[in-house]
Amino acid sequence: MFTESVRDLDEDEKIMIIQTGMRTDIPAFYSKWLINRIREGFVLVRNPYNPIQVTRYSLSPEVVDLIAFCTKNPSPMLPHMEILKPYGQYWFVTITPYGKETEPNVPEKEKVISDFQRLSGIVGVDSVGWRYDPIFLDDQYSVERHLEEFEKMAAALSGYTKSCVISFIDIYKKVERNFPKAREVSKSDRVRLGKELVRIAKRYGMVLRPCAEGNDLASYGADCSGCMTVNTFETALHANLDVPKRRSNQRKEQCACLLGVDIGAYDTCGHLCRYCYANTDALRVKENMRKHNPSSPFLLGGYMPGDIIHEAQQKSWIDGQIRMDISRV
């Protein structure tokens, strides 16, 4: 499960990866806004911890090598994929077994699986991954049920992706408030479930990648190096990246993910999943969604008195050499 991270790179580093899914679900709820931003060539992003600080990011394909998505509903973007053709893309689509009691506004699983298959046909199998997370256990969602549901989904997605990312629920303060019955999964259950998920994923042509879960599943065949690594993006781009030296991301030794910068905003995701770390509560989300203007350069609202706008330094990281080995995911 993604952690609450503003950015992974130092202020003076040149950004080539634009993230859209670590704070909200832009394809599901704000696709028209994203299309407008791409057409106008820039986006403005408020610092969530100091709102008068605003960063302006160019969305020119000359300086943005890849746009990364994480969504539970890619459907609203599918009619508009032509506008994304100039960019490298990597899509995570989250599909879990949970019902409306946990994910009240997520579309039916069969529809999301169908859209996943369609998306894979457009962007290619190297540019789309399945997320089955966060995993929690209770009376309704036992280890046995997770294994049964996971296998059904893996069978449906076989051939459409080579990668499945899992993580176990983290009890952040927001999660504790919105999902009070949630409990952390014990290490023994994580290993018991994880090693079987590795086996099932392999059967259907996928590598299982735990997200920020340490190396406990490595001995069973999981790839514990991270879910959004340099290699992930190089494989999607079919190109090598000359990535500047980075400071550690907030998960430090737990993963080597290249997070980039996110253009979304917290407290704006209308799925209202009870386990979500990015929403404070449903009322705040609904209030914020009313502030959204698809024509604004900001996801929420517009310019404010006192705004300090910083122009991000951006430069392509593609080194110009064709990546010959694309067998790894």
User: Model confidence over 102-121: pLDDT tens digits?
Assistant: 999 999 999 999 999 999 99
Give me 320's structure tokens: 């110009």
Residue 296 has a pLDDT of 98
Global confidence as pTM: 0.91
C-alpha distances (whole Å) from 273 to each of 146, 175, 190 are 18, 10, 22
* Across 162-177, average pLDDT: 94
* Across 152-161, average pLDDT: 98
Chain Cα centroid distance, residue 221: 23
Residue 2 has a pLDDT of 47
Residue 14 has a pLDDT of 63
Vertex 91 angle, CA 100 and 256, to 5°: 105
d(CA 128, CA 326): 14
The pLDDT-based confidence of 161 (bands split at 50, 70, 90) is very high
The pLDDT-based confidence of 260 (bands split at 50, 70, 90) is confident
C-alpha distances (whole Å) from 61 to each of 64, 123, 283, 289, 314 are 5, 16, 37, 29, 11
Residue 8 has a pLDDT of 39
Residue 11 has a pLDDT of 44
pLDDT at 254 exceeding the cut of 80? no
- Phi, psi (5° rounding) for residue 69? -120, 150
- Phi, psi (5° rounding) for residue 260? 70, -150
- Phi, psi (5° rounding) for residue 253? -75, -5
SS percent in the chain: helix, strand, coil, step 5: 30, 20, 50
d(CA 148, CA 191): 17
d(CA 316, CA 314): 7
Closest CA to 201 of 142, 157, 141: 157
Residue 326 has a pLDDT of 43
Tens-place pLDDT, residues 184-215: 999 999 999 999 999 999 999 999 999 988 89
Contact yes or no for 197/225 (Cβ under 8 A):
no
Tens-place pLDDT, residues 73-82: 999 999 999 9
Q: What is the largest CA-CA distance in the chain?
A: 57
- Assess whether the previous peptide bond of 134 is cis (omega < 30° from 0): yes
Residue reference for tokens 């529809």: 111
* Across 275-299, average pLDDT: 96
d(CA 223, CA 230): 14
Which residues have a Cβ under 8 Å from the Cβ of 3 and sit 6 or more positions away?
170, 212, 250, 251, 277
Closest CA to 262 of 243, 278, 242: 278
Which residues have a Cβ under 8 Å from the Cβ of 251 and sit 6 or more positions away?
3, 5, 212, 257
DSSP 8-state secondary structure symbol assigned to residue 227: S
Residue reference for tokens 């449903």: 282
- Residue-wise burial string across 149-160, b where 16 or more C-beta atoms lie within 10 A, e elsewhere: bbbebbebbeeb
Q: Over the chain, what is the mean pLDDT?
A: 90
Residue 91 has a pLDDT of 98
